[in-house]
Amino acid sequence: TLAGKVALVTGSTSGIGLGIIRALAAEGADVVLNGLGGAAEIGKVREQIAAEFSVKASFSPADMTRPNSIAEMIAATVAQSGRLDILVNNAGIQHVAPLEAFPVEKWDQILAINLSSAFHTTRLALPAMRRNGFGRIINVSSTHGLIASPFKAAYVAAKHGIVGLTKVTALETAEEAITCNAICPGYVYTPLVEAQIDGQAKAHGISRDQVIRDVLLAQQPNKRFTTVEELGALTVFLSTEAAGSITGIALPVDGGWTAH
Ligand code: NAD
């Protein structure tokens, strides 16, 4: 269904972004990967996606904290393929600390990667989408874009912020066959979450299994992690013509967490 389309996913060398890029490639889209990681490993992922799905898979090492580098990424994508149909703003990091102890440079870094990068990709991708009369922008927010938890000031602020950016983008593009939506996953088992498990175990003095059950999934009524495949399938749907009237929403994918 997405043959001939070009999709760029920020932060797609790992976790949710990689799952989304595989789902888009499986539907025939040519894909542009982005993110951190070793050149050899990223090269292997590109080759595998290209071979498995018979699509073009390229890579941009653009650092999402740097507007110039984001501009180069978008310009190179449009120069290479003449189009950019699907933009998924997914790159993100986390840091957990109480407000008074929250490192100022972490605040700046999280706001830059989790929020400002999406402003830059969006403003730079819109001209190409408008030229083609088609565009899909999917912002990976979080349950923490809708509700808060303690000790995640920067993350919660950035994820709420991206829901606001999503709404403005939707309104400014509403008449142009361009849609912009946010998806709000609950906990997904990825390296980002794995990195929190040992810390939480130490903080609470409990085992890893207890952290997963009693801390992470305590919030999630269906008692399991959301999967990258579920998020990939949702992104594919939002990218189709059939989803053309869906714009400006922030859709929870959280097993009932925000129903509390
Ligand atoms: P992850 O750590 O597995 O992947 C993060 C990706 O972002 C990686 O590809 C990494 O290289 C990239 N990245 C980090 N800093 C970057 C930078 N400066 N420039 C470019 N790329 C950079 O994490 P994940 O869990 O897959 O998270 C992906 C997104 O999903 C994030 O925005 C995260 O907030 C969001 N999210 C995750 C969960 C979860 O439970 N895992 C839940 C809700 C939302």
Task: For residue range 63-83, list pLDDT tens digits in order.
Answer: 999 999 999 999 999 999 999
Check if 155 is active-site. yes
Instruction: Give domain status of residue 214, yes or no.
Output: no
Instruction: Say which CATH number the domain at 122 has.
Output: 3.40.50.720
- With beta carbons less than 8 A apart as the criterion, state whether 59 and 12 touch: no
Check pLDDT > 90 for residue 113. yes
- Distance from residue 112's CA to the centre of ligand 1 (Å): 13
What is the band of 42 on the pLDDT scale with cuts at 50, 70, 90? very high
Establish whether residue 232 lines the binding site of ligand 1, counting it when its CB lies within 6 angstroms of any ligand atom: no
Report the nearest-CA residue for atom 3 of ligand 1: 15
Asked if residue 116 is part of any domain, the answer here is yes
Does residue 56 belong to any structural domain of this protein? Answer: yes
Overall average pLDDT of the 210-219 stretch = 92
Tell me the pLDDT of the chain averaged across its residues: 97
Range of the domain at 48: 6-188+227-259
Residue 222: inside a domain: no
What pLDDT does 203 receive? Answer: 87
Residue 85 pLDDT exceeds 90: yes
Could you give the number of structural domains in the chain? 1
Q: Is residue 54 part of a domain?
A: yes
pLDDT of amino acid 61: 98
**Is residue 86 domain-resident?**
yes
In a domain, 157, yes or no: yes
- Report the pLDDT value the prediction gives residue 4, as an integer from 0 to 100: 96
Instruction: Say yes or no to pLDDT of 196 above 90.
Output: no
The answer to whether residue 237 sits within a structural domain is yes
Q: Which residue has its alpha carbon closest to ligand 1 atom 44?
A: 142
Rg (CA), the chain: 18
Q: How confident is the model at residue 36 (pLDDT cuts 50, 70, 90)?
A: very high
Q: CA neighbours within 13 Å on the CB side: how many for 70?
A: 22
Q: Measured from the CB, is residue 13 less than 6 Å from ligand 1?
A: yes
